[in-house]
Structures are given as C-alpha cells and as structure tokens.
C-alpha cells in the first residue's frame, strides 16, 4: 500500500504540473496556478517523506500536511474553475483525485492515532 500511495500522489503531482503548464497566460492564471502548483507538488513530496518518518507521531504529522495541501488544491482548482478559459473536465478530474486522496489519508491518520 505504501508504494501505491507514493506512486499515486506522485502521479497527482505530475498531473498538477501538466495542468499548470496548460493554463492560459495572464496574471490571474499565473497567480492561482502557482498556488496550485505549490500545494499539488507538496502532496507527493510529503507523502514520500511521511513513509520515511522516524516515528508514528511524525508519520501522522506529515500525513496531516498531505491532507491540508490536497484540500488547498481543491480551493485553487475551484477558483480556476470560475475562469471561463480553463479546462473544466481536467479540473474535475483533479478535484476528484484530491478528494479521494484526502479520504484515504484521513482514514490512515485515524488508524495511526488509534
């Protein structure tokens, strides 16, 4: 499961990078896109880091960051979705994946703390 989640979150991060690269030019897209890029790549990076954690507490803390960053991705995607020039289908795919990742990691954190 660990490797699967690391792979899945890496793919999510890459999809965010690809989406960012496809955004139209302009200050609004640059600003919102950069925010999405930052938190989207953080999902993969912090997942990888969590599974290398030295303690149960560190593991849970890192996964807490993953949850926050995935949730933040949804926020930036919703703002980008409000712009008429964006790919709504791609945004929905990314939002769906972010929501699924949040659900998975919330469940893992709850079990780890039990």
In this prediction, residues 7-23 reach a mean pLDDT of 97
CA distance 32 to 38: 10
Name the band, by pLDDT with cuts 50, 70 and 90, for residue 31: very high
Going along the chain from its start, the domains and CATH numbers come out as 2-113 (1.20.1440.60)
Diameter of the chain by CA atoms?
47
- What average pLDDT does this structure show over 6-23? 97
- The model's pLDDT over 72-91, given as tens digits with 9 standing for 90+, comes to 999 999 999 999 999 999 99
Residue 3's pLDDT band (cuts 50, 70, 90): confident
Q: How many helices (H) and strands (E) does the chain have?
A: 4, 0
pLDDT, mean of residues 95-109: 97
Q: Is residue 37 a contact partner of residue 16, using CB atoms and an 8 Å limit?
A: yes
Query: Is residue 113 over pLDDT 80?
Result: no
Across the range 2-16, mean pLDDT stands at 94
DSSP percent split of the chain into helix, strand, coil, nearest 5 = 85, 0, 15
pLDDT digits (tens, 9 = 90+) for 44-72: 999 999 988 778 888 899 999 999 999 99
Can you list the pairs that 50-53 forms with residues at least 24 positions away whose Cβ atoms lie under 8 Å? 51/2, 51/5, 51/6
Inter-axis angle of helices 2-22 and 27-50, to 10 degrees? 170
Question: Cα dihedral angle (13, 61, 105, 78), rounded to 10 degrees?
Answer: -50
User: What pLDDT is stored for residue 1 in this prediction?
Assistant: 67
């Amino acid at each position: 499961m660990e490797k699967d989640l690391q792979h899945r979150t890496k793919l999510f991060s890459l999809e965010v990078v690809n989406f960012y690269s496809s955004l139209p030019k302009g200050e609004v897209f640059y600003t919102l896109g950069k925010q999405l890029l930052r938190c989207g790549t953080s999902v993969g990076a912090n997942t990888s880091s969590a599974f290398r954690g030295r303690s149960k507490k560190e593991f849970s803390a890192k996964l807490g960051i993953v949850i926050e960053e995935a949730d933040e991705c949804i926020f930036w995607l919703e703002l980008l979705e409000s712009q008429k020039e964006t790919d709504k289908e791609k945004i929905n795919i990314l939002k769906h994946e972010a929501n699924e990742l949040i659900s998975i990691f919330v469940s893992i954190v709850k079990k780890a703390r039990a």
